[in-house]
């Protein structure tokens, strides 16, 4: 379960690096999960669902960009509003499609694991590392690409400059609004993609509130990873490992309340944040609207 958190966190990281705090990740993931499922259900093709989910996420990112960059609404308020809206809207969409009383949730044929030739047959590590859905590999590759983009390219320097000191960046001729809009829309695309992973690669169905706080955890992991894509990858793996541990403990019949087992992944990430996260702050202009004249 590390993949949806990783993908959402990578998108949020780019957004925050440009100075936009997007607290609407949870709601965007839910909308992406719902629309991705509905499109895949109608057209019998999961890739159509993925594209639709990303499109929906991108539109929500555009809305967040308008509120935060153009209208200069408080980013905490706008992000929370979008998250609440996404939760309600996804549930509304789902039950509008399936109006009859459901005895069980409808399902689709989602993504099957991809076996990498030769590597997937290596004893022990082959099934662990080289037999996953294509979106799992997408998340890992994306982390590497974004790491290079942010720290090794001119575009990355501009993004980080806008996040640290937008006034100075503007003085140097960098279009602050364009950079921020691009990053927040990318964050929306990734949140939609992360949501589609849940409905098309993990559950193969849509269940209201199925993200179960993973959007919020993605934001926390951006902080844990110190706004570094490769560290975010590591933080996501910590969460995924804790989630796997929860399932193992439940499978062996441990006499512990189910609710406590469900808390384990979140508790472990919070504990890790407390123990190893350095006192490194985020981008200096994070969450602060920029006005050219003021």
pLDDT in tens, 97-119: 887 666 678 889 888 777 777 76
Asked if 245 and 264 count as a contact pair (C-beta separation under 8 A), the reply is: yes
pLDDT of residue 145: 97
pLDDT of residue 176: 97
pLDDT of residue 119: 67
Give residue limits of the domains in the chain.
2-111+122-219
pLDDT of residue 153: 97
pLDDT of residue 281: 75
pLDDT of residue 128: 66
pLDDT of residue 28: 98
pLDDT of residue 294: 57
Parts of the chain with a pLDDT under 50: none
pLDDT of residue 101: 62
What is the spatial distance between Cα 179 and Cα 162, in angstroms, rounded to a whole number? 8
pTM, full prediction: 0.91
pLDDT of residue 163: 97
């Amino acid at each position: 379960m590390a993949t949806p958190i990783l993908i959402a966190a990578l998108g949020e990281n780019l957004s925050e690096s440009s100075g936009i705090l997007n607290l609407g990740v949870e709601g965007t993931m839910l909308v992406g999960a719902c629309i991705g499922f509905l499109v895949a259900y109608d057209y019998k093709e999961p890739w159509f669902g993925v594209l639709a989910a990303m499109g929906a996420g991108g539109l929500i990112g555009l809305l967040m960009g308008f509120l935060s960059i153009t209208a200069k609404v408080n980013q905490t308020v706008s992000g929370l509003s979008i998250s609440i809206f996404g939760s309600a809207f996804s549930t509304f969409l789902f039950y509008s499609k399936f109006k009859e009383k459901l005895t069980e949730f409808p399902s689709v044929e989602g993504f099957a694991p991809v076996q990498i030739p030769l590597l997937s047959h290596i004893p022990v590590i082959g099934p662990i590392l080289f037999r996953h859905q294509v979106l799992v590999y997408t998340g890992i590759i994306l982390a590497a690409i974004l790491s290079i983009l942010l720290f090794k390219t001119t575009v990355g320097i501009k993004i980080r400059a806008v996040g640290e000191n937008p006034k100075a960046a503007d003085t140097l001729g960098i279009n602050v609004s364009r950079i921020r809009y691009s990053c927040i829309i990318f964050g929306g695309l990734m949140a939609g993609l992360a949501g589609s992973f849940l409905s098309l690669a993990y559950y193969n169905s849509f269940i209201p509130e199925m993200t179960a706080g993973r959007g919020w955890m993605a934001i926390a992991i951006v902080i844990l990873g110190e706004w570094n894509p490769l560290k975010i990858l590591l933080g996501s793996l910590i969460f995924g490992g804790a989630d796997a541990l929860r399932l193992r403990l439940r499978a062996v019949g441990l006499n512990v309340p189910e609710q406590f087992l469900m808390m384990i992944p979140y508790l472990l990430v919070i504990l890790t944040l407390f123990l190893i996260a350095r006192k490194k702050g985020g981008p200096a202009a994070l969450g602060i609207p920029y006005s050219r004249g003021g």
